[in-house]
Amino acid sequence: PKTDIVFLKVHKSASSTVMNILFRFGETHNLTFAFPQGGGFQLYYPHHFLARFVQGFSPWSPRRFNILCHHMRFLQPEVQKVVPSSAVYFSILRNPVQLMESSFVYYKGASAFSRVRSLEEFLSQPYRYYSPASGDRHYARNLITFDFGFNPDGDVSPERVQLMLKAIEASFDFLLISEYFDESMVLLKEMLCWDLDSVVSFPLNTRDSSTRSTLPASAVEKLKAWNRLDWEIYTHFNRTFWERLDRDIGRERLRREVKALRERQAELARTCLQGTGSVAPKDIKDSSLRPLQHGGARILGYNLKQGLDGELERTCRRLVTPELQYSSFLYKKQFPPPPA
């Protein structure tokens, strides 16, 4: 199994669920994580990543970390200073239409969104609300492009787009697609030579459906045009994702593996969870399992069954522990505080 991994955690793209998979694998195999300085949750995002943002990194010691997976704005020469040269690089993408709808609800306080009542209102005259100079502009335009380290207000000429796609292909071994999450997990398992249980997950950091809205077709077209760079990245890598699956796995085996994955997830849900799945934040009984609530979104979580025995309880708890709590736990394990 591959143990040296760089995961670019693109915002609002099922990336918290992937991060949970990496946390569990890293914990089980005693791997080290490139944590943000002081145990924070982001690597000085939205600044481009620098090696010195990582706790325990020193330019004078050749120490390398196994897994880099916290939010960052990608800059490969700096990333290469903190992970082994053998590291596998991957990320996950989401359709920019749904991505922006999610970003609008989640980052409602961002300067571009704070003065509008709806996403349609914003899209009707975006430059009235959006300033390329504001420090939080990336939440409102080409968020994928920004997270990959490029200029979200950049030129959209075919030549420029091709250069960007080539640069991403040169840096990343493969990209997953969040709309095809189970198929993505089968590909991840294949590329990392992991077993089925390592890629099983429950969806984390998902919104209650009451805060989701469907956009009219006219708004969707405006949104694609406004996020043209993201749309180019997404459509290109959605295509290569399926080409990769066909080449490395084949549709027949893919169907079998997706079925096995879903059956294993359903079995774990029956074993671990109270009720049928995720619940509203106010209904989560164990406060240590309550996810951070942000913006206008209601983020769902889980209740574990009572009376699970030790090892099983630990497995189940890891599957539903929200990202911030899990990150803090692993940070303290890797950098134990000095005894009082």
With respect to residue 328, please indicate whether it lies within any of the assigned structural domains.
yes
* Torsion angles phi and psi, residue 36, rounded to 5: -60, 145
CA torsion sign for 128, 216, 280, 25 is negative
With respect to residue 148, please indicate whether it lies within any of the assigned structural domains.
yes
User: In the chain, how many domains are there?
Assistant: 1
With respect to residue 212, please indicate whether it lies within any of the assigned structural domains.
yes
CA dihedral 83, 85, 88, 94 (to 10 degrees): 60
Convert the pLDDT of each residue in 256-315 to its tens digit.
Answer: 999 999 999 999 999 999 987 899 889 999 989 998 887 777 889 999 999 999 999 999
Q: In the chain, what is the greatest distance between 2 CA atoms, to the nearest angstrom?
A: 61
With respect to residue 157, please indicate whether it lies within any of the assigned structural domains.
yes
CA distance 177 to 78: 26
DSSP state string for 167-220: HHHHH-SEEEEGGGHHHHHHHHHHHHT--HHHH-----SPBPGGG--PPPHHHH
Convert the pLDDT of each residue in 146-167 to its tens digit.
Answer: 999 999 999 999 999 999 999 9
Cβ–Cβ contacts within 10 Å for residue 59, how many? 8
CA distance 192 to 171: 17
pTM: 0.95
Q: Which domain holds residue 254?
A: 5-334
Cβ–Cβ contacts within 10 Å for residue 187, how many? 24
Parallel, antiparallel, or unpaired for β 88-93 and 5-8?
parallel
With respect to residue 254, please indicate whether it lies within any of the assigned structural domains.
yes
With respect to residue 339, please indicate whether it lies within any of the assigned structural domains.
no
CA dihedral 220, 48, 54, 325 (to 10 degrees): -20
CATH number reported for the structural domain that contains residue 168 in this entry: 3.40.50
Low-confidence ranges of the chain (pLDDT < 70): 211
